[in-house]
A and B are shown apart, each in its own frame.
Chain A
Amino acid sequence: MAHQWGMVIDLDRCTGCEACVVACHAENNISTVGEDQARRSRAKHWIRVERYYEGEFPDVQVKFMPVLCQQCDAAPCEPVCPTFASYHTSEGLNGQIYNRCIGTRYCANACPYVVRYFNFFNPVWDKPLNLQLNPDVSVREVGVMEKCTFCVQRIKAGEIKAEAEKRELKDGEIQPACVQSCAPRAMVFGDLNDPESEVSRLANSGRATKLLAELGTRPKVTYLQRDAWHGHENA
């Protein structure tokens, strides 16, 4: 059976540190756009950490939630693409074929999670910052939409390696850059078609929720709600 890649993000572990955000930039050749373009809301972060304040000081609470492409099974971004640049891969990813993309931005408008990013200009790396580029990931040119791929280059490399060694992929063998960097281990990645995988097990947890599930997008990212402390004064 084909893999169905999914992710679980445990909000009880997430500390909002942004390591995933920077790791993603480093792995996926996401260009920085600079102050002026950032001011025009054109900064690109395939994964971002959302922050919610609740209540008034001193009874105030903050919650963090990393948001990335939810790799929906019923993805609103896919049917709207006139050139089939946004498409569903056999392993359940919301693929984006850059050289098919003509920049209609329909997909970004359709996406309820606001996780698609448009290249308003060609990317620029002030030399020699270009030397940091990951040769496994193509850079995207002006007029092209880009988004989280679940680090498809790492998925492919893992699959090729396992095939060459004539064995099955091990659970946890493939880690997207965000997952690998995450120090409190809030993020878990794996095969949802494998009922024994950690990601499948966690996705069935009682704390599991999907982001904007009511829209019927069937995301493959599962959030585990922040838990409460169960102790008491005189345990």
Chain B
Amino acid sequence: MERRDFLKISAIAGATAALEGCGNPDHQLIRFVPEEDLLPGIATWKPSICTQCPAGCGMMVRVMQGEAEVIRKGQLGLLKMGLAKKLEGNPAHPISQGKLCPRGQAGLQVTYHPDRIKNPLVREGARGSGQFKEIGWDDAIKQLASQLSTLHTSNPPGGLAFVTGPLRGQRKTILDAFTTSFQGSYAVGAAFLDDSVARAANGASFGHAAPGTVDLANSNYVLSFGADFLGTWNSPVAQNVGFGHMRKGRPGMRGKFVQFEPRISQTGASADEFVAVQPGAEGVLALAIAHVVIAEKRKPLASAGHAGSLIDGWAQGLPDYAPEKVAAQTGVKAETIARIAREAASHDPAVAIIGDSATAQTNGYFNALAVNALNALLGSVGKPGGILFGAGLNAQASKSGPASLELFASQVSSGAAPVKVLLVYNANPIFSAPTAWGVRAALDKIPFIASFASFMDETALLADLILPDSSPLESWLDDVPPSGSAKFVMSVAPPAMAPLHDTRSAPDVLLDVAQRIGGDLAKALPWKTYDEAIQAAFAALYKEKGSKTAKDADEFWSRAKDQGGWWTDEPSATANGASGGRPIKASAAQFDGEASQYPFHFLPFASQLFYDGSLANLPWMQEAPDPLSTVMWGTWLEINPRTAQKLNIQRGDLVEVSSPHGKLQAPALIAPGVAPDVVAMPIGQGHESYTRYASGRGANPISILAPATVEGTGALAWAATRVKLSAVGRSAMILFGGSLTEASPELKHR
């Protein structure tokens, strides 16, 4: 805006403010009384919780007074209000420790996104047509309540399904109680990057069905099997802080980090040693390392305890896993395996981590058990510098897992699950499921779909009713992060600012609906509002844990609100408590698609900027160059240089990637870090509908995945698909920067 225009508008604003109540309300600029004591130009810092990924980092929000053009009581006006201006890590919070990742930094753009759903919508045109009509909240809640009321009287009873992303804290309590109070209802988890394999394996090996906290800061030797722990896996900010300390925070001591994976990830890029491993052979490799440690009597095999006993042949010293025997299978030289084993065993504390593609193979559960056994052998479970499991509530969140989306879709399609009402919260099942699961067809069979979406994504587009959630910065938040710190952490944050639009916090809407329906539902949810529920949780926490500083529950609560939560001073790691379970034999990873017809392993990977695709709507994420490829505003397929040469594929060629379950097109990026028999593609783009910044951009690798599952769990084996490639034309990729020395015309950014 030109300065002159600004002055003109200011003058008009002054004049019309004086004439309030006159003229056309649409042209009025109404100033409201400020809701809080903010001084112009002076920043206030308020605690909040990052919700961009499930890590649960504590944040501080820089709030300043500003003028926002908003609709209030049906009128557009300039409202003087507190506005979030910058997000930083909360220095007191045990997980973020004052730091934030790029995704967290971009959380601001969720609140200010131009394509947010600004008020409740009801479908007008055909389902999926995108034609909606704005309605008021009272009408919207009445419609939802009346749909739900019919379920109580229907015969057979039941017919409610609730599809969600990861849930914790009182948000989980409210949604769980809401769902279970309807007979025969389904709670369905739709997170693509879930940690169910790690939870199941850690439960079996150690008695803790939790992802665990890696104490990198105190570690001396880190073995990571596929885990992108500096990018997207588990609790990346906490892990980055720990990693920096491991490298250079201890004078005279620098830990070594070895990464085993088929493609150098952003995390692998920081490794001291990158070891290429065949996809699916991670568990065998871990046991070969264990074999050397045991055979050379560097650690007694009994030290692995229960975790070791779950591996077939452990008691005999893993005779089948001698390095020379598994070298071909794993693709790792026997002497490399032996050397790494000796290094790890002689540099206590050493820790092994497994995640991402290593647990997303059909044998991912075995891989995780094998790495757990190695960890136990190295003596790093529950010890500083190892893997820690917190006590109490931190582990509680995982007791009952939701049903898998795959099972749900097949039951709805077959009629075995007669779902009449579907609620969708913080999930986009159409995008995050392989096409082969048939989620789209299943949703078409459900008569009524209500969504709490903030953006018109692929799933919200199919909804009959949209009750838009307020943004995280506009909402109460609570969280009980299961990893990232060995301390006991319970976070809470009041809204950092007032809602910009006519939106409501989803848990509040559910509580409202429960009160309107009454009966068992209202009894199961005794709180009027979500913050009342959070306060109740903190009152219970005060009763259980007490406090050194607060004199009563009220003071405890108000302190927690001020500092962003409550946490213990000391780590509260607990001992192992697992027993039972039969020894597991090595199972080879199975891949969907004949190797002769589909010669390449297809490796989708979580994007550093888009995570699972849910952040592709943010312009800061679209225009930030990907750390490894430097690609902006698009997607790409990574192909090894030798493979590309063989197939006569150049950088920027448009390549068709076909699996037995579908095909997509993406521009080729010749990447030295990917194995010759593997092609890799980031998750995140390929949204049909996800705001002006993401819609119709690139391709979604999830769509062509085989419906393979991880044996022993119901999780999707998303690294178990094979594909074939063919060049079909040219495409333009946008690469940023490149480097100072190798600036080719295409790489130059100016």
Is the beta-carbon distance between B342 and A43 smaller than 8 angstroms?
A: no
Picked from A10, A180, A211, the residue with its CB within 8 Å of the CB of B88 is A180
Q: Is A131 an interface residue (CB 8 A)?
A: yes
Q: Is B205 an interface residue (CB 8 A)?
A: no
Q: Mark B466-485, 1 if CB is under 8 A from A, else 0.
A: 00000000000000000000
Q: Mark B208-242, 1 if CB is under 8 A from A, else 0.
A: 00000000000011000000001100001100110
Q: How far apart sit A111 and B623, CA to CA, in the bound complex (Å)?
A: 23
Q: Is B143 an interface residue (CB 8 A)?
A: no
Q: How far apart sit A78 and B748, CA to CA, in the bound complex (Å)?
A: 23
Q: How far apart sit A138 and B456, CA to CA, in the bound complex (Å)?
A: 33
Which residue on chain A has the smallest CB distance to residue B65? A135
Known: A26-B620, A64-B269, A134-B86. A231 touches B347 (CB 8 A): yes
* Chain A residues packing against B (C-beta within 8 Å): 10, 12-19, 21-23, 25-27, 32-35, 38-39, 41-43, 45, 48-53, 55-58, 60-64, 67, 108, 112-114, 126-135, 177, 180-186, 211-212, 227-235
* Chain B residues packing against A (C-beta within 8 Å): 41, 64, 66, 68-69, 83-89, 97-102, 104-106, 108-109, 112-114, 220-221, 230-231, 236-237, 240-241, 243-245, 247-249, 254-256, 264, 266-270, 272, 274-276, 331, 339, 342-343, 346-347, 500, 608-609, 619-625, 627-628, 630, 632-634, 640-642, 672-676, 692, 697, 732, 734, 736-740, 742-743, 748-750
Known: A57-B676, A58-B274. A132 touches B109 (CB 8 A): yes
Q: How far is the CB of B279 from chain A (nearest CB, A)?
A: 13
Q: How far apart sit A130 and B68, CA to CA, in the bound complex (Å)?
A: 9
Which residue on chain A has the smallest CB distance to residue B40? A135
Is the beta-carbon distance between B248 and A18 smaller than 8 angstroms?
A: no
**Chain B residues within an 8 Å CB radius of A35:** 622, 633-634, 697, 734
Known: A48-B737, A64-B627. A114 touches B749 (CB 8 A): yes
Is the beta-carbon distance between B66 and A43 smaller than 8 angstroms?
A: no
Q: How far apart sit A211 and B697, CA to CA, in the bound complex (Å)?
A: 37
Q: How far is the CB of B622 from chain A (nearest CB, A)?
A: 7
Q: How far apart sit A130 and B78, CA to CA, in the bound complex (Å)?
A: 14
Q: Which of B114, B240, B732 has the most CB of A within 10 A?
A: B240
Picked from A16, A133, A234, the residue with its CB within 8 Å of the CB of B270 is A16
Q: How far apart sit A12 and B244, CA to CA, in the bound complex (Å)?
A: 8
**Chain B residues within an 8 Å CB radius of A114:** 737, 740, 743, 749-750
**Chain A residues within an 8 Å CB radius of B86:** 26-27, 134, 177
Is the beta-carbon distance between A228 and B272 smaller than 8 angstroms?
A: yes
Q: How far is the CB of B627 from chain A (nearest CB, A)?
A: 4
Known: A38-B623, A235-B346. A17 touches B100 (CB 8 A): no
Q: Which of A18, A57, A232 has the most CB of B within 10 A?
A: A57
Is the beta-carbon distance between B620 and A22 smaller than 8 angstroms?
A: yes
Picked from B230, B249, B632, the residue with its CB within 8 Å of the CB of A38 is B632
Is the beta-carbon distance between A43 and B632 smaller than 8 angstroms?
A: yes
Known: A26-B87, A51-B628. A17 touches B608 (CB 8 A): yes
Q: How far is the CB of A35 from chain B (nearest CB, A)?
A: 4
Is the beta-carbon distance between A16 and B269 smaller than 8 angstroms?
A: yes
Would you mind naming 6 contact pairs between A and B with Cβ atoms under 8 Å apart? Answer: A16-B627, A22-B624, A32-B622, A45-B737, A58-B675, A132-B109
Q: How far is the CB of A154 from chain B (nearest CB, A)?
A: 11
**Chain B residues within an 8 Å CB radius of A130:** 112
Which residue on chain A has the smallest CB distance to residue B66? A131
Is the beta-carbon distance between B244 and A26 smaller than 8 angstroms?
A: no
Q: How far apart sit A28 and B623, CA to CA, in the bound complex (Å)?
A: 15
**Chain B residues within an 8 Å CB radius of A132:** 84-85, 108-109, 112
Q: How far apart sit A63 and B675, CA to CA, in the bound complex (Å)?
A: 18
**Chain B residues within an 8 Å CB radius of A38:** 623, 632-633, 734, 736
Is the beta-carbon distance between A51 and B627 smaller than 8 angstroms?
A: yes
Q: How far apart sit A43 and B632, CA to CA, in the bound complex (Å)?
A: 9
Q: How far apart sit A62 and B259, CA to CA, in the bound complex (Å)?
A: 12
Is the beta-carbon distance between B105 and A181 smaller than 8 angstroms?
A: yes
Is the beta-carbon distance between B244 and A184 smaller than 8 angstroms?
A: yes
Is the beta-carbon distance between A108 and B750 smaller than 8 angstroms?
A: yes
Is the beta-carbon distance between A16 and B105 smaller than 8 angstroms?
A: no
Q: How far apart sit A180 and B99, CA to CA, in the bound complex (Å)?
A: 7
Which residue on chain B has the smallest CB distance to residue A53? B672
Known: A26-B620, A32-B622. A135 touches B66 (CB 8 A): yes
Which residue on chain A has the smallest CB distance to residue B736? A43
Q: How far apart sit A48 and B738, CA to CA, in the bound complex (Å)?
A: 10
Q: Which of A25, A55, A61, A183 has the most CB of B within 10 A?
A: A183
Is the beta-carbon distance between A135 and B64 smaller than 8 angstroms?
A: yes
Q: How far is the CB of B231 from chain A (nearest CB, A)?
A: 7
Is the beta-carbon distance between A19 and B85 smaller than 8 angstroms?
A: no
Which residue on chain A has the smallest CB distance to residue B643? A57
Which residue on chain A has the smallest CB distance to residue B742? A52
Known: A57-B642, A64-B270, A231-B347. 19 other contacts (CB 8 A): A16-B266, A17-B266, A19-B99, A19-B101, A22-B102, A35-B697, A52-B742, A62-B268, A132-B112, A181-B99, A181-B101, A183-B241, A184-B230, A185-B241, A227-B247, A227-B248, A234-B342, A234-B346, A235-B346
Is the beta-carbon distance between A135 and B85 smaller than 8 angstroms?
A: yes
Is the beta-carbon distance between A43 and B274 smaller than 8 angstroms?
A: no
Is the beta-carbon distance between B240 and A49 smaller than 8 angstroms?
A: no
Q: How far apart sit A55 and B632, CA to CA, in the bound complex (Å)?
A: 25
Is the beta-carbon distance between B244 and A18 smaller than 8 angstroms?
A: no
Q: How far apart sit A177 and B105, CA to CA, in the bound complex (Å)?
A: 10
Q: How far is the CB of B689 from chain A (nearest CB, A)?
A: 17
Picked from A53, A128, A180, A233, the residue with its CB within 8 Å of the CB of B673 is A53
Is the beta-carbon distance between A26 and B622 smaller than 8 angstroms?
A: no
Picked from B105, B243, B609, the residue with its CB within 8 Å of the CB of A15 is B243
Is the beta-carbon distance between B231 and A17 smaller than 8 angstroms?
A: yes
**Chain A residues within an 8 Å CB radius of B102:** 17-19, 21-23
Q: How far is the CB of B330 from chain A (nearest CB, A)?
A: 12
Q: How far apart sit A113 and B86, CA to CA, in the bound complex (Å)?
A: 28
Q: How far is the CB of B97 from chain A (nearest CB, A)?
A: 8
**Chain B residues within an 8 Å CB radius of A182:** 99
**Chain B residues within an 8 Å CB radius of A134:** 85-86
**Chain B residues within an 8 Å CB radius of A227:** 247-248, 254
Q: How far apart sit A129 and B269, CA to CA, in the bound complex (Å)?
A: 34
Q: How far apart sit A19 and B52, CA to CA, in the bound complex (Å)?
A: 13
Known: A48-B625, A181-B88. A17 touches B230 (CB 8 A): yes
